[in-house]
């Protein structure tokens, strides 16, 4: 992959959605919730005002409607500003 985010943006690979409930029921695709966690795969350089606090490989939590979905080489990613990330786990 050859994507380099600009400014204070971060490229995140979302964790896969849950396939089964705790009770063992299979969740259909239409009822699956978007995951709210993922792994950082690329980080921009930041700006003069914003220092980048996340780095490649960090597991992060982000808001439900954070970022823009993009597809690169058949894989879905989210690109978002660092301020949309809620926590590093």
9-57: pLDDT as tens digits: 999 999 887 677 777 777 776 766 677 899 999 999 999 999 999 999 9
C-alpha of 28 from chain center:
22
Q: What local confidence, expressed as pLDDT, does residue 2 receive?
A: 82
Please answer whether residues 75 and 12 qualify as being in contact, where contact means their C-beta atoms are separated by less than 8 angstroms.
Answer: no
Could you tell me the pTM of the whole model? 0.82
How far apart are the C-alpha atoms of 42 and 55, rounded to whole Å?
A: 8
Please answer whether residues 85 and 10 qualify as being in contact, where contact means their C-beta atoms are separated by less than 8 angstroms.
Answer: yes
Q: Does 1 score more than 70 pLDDT? A: no
Retrieve residue 86's tokens: 């809620």
Domains with residue ranges and CATH for the chain: 9-15+25-88 (2.30.33.40)
């Amino acid at each position: 992959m050859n994507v380099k985010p600009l400014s204070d943006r971060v490229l995140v690979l979302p964790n896969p959605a849950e396939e089964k409930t705790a009770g063992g029921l299979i969740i259909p695709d239409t009822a699956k919730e978007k995951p709210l966690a993922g792994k950082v795969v690329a980080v921009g350089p930041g700006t003069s005002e914003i220092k980048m606090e996340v780095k490649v490989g960090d597991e992060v939590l982000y808001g439900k409607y954070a970022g823009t979905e993009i597809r690169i080489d058949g894989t879905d990613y989210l690109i978002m500003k660092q301020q949309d990330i809620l926590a590093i786990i």
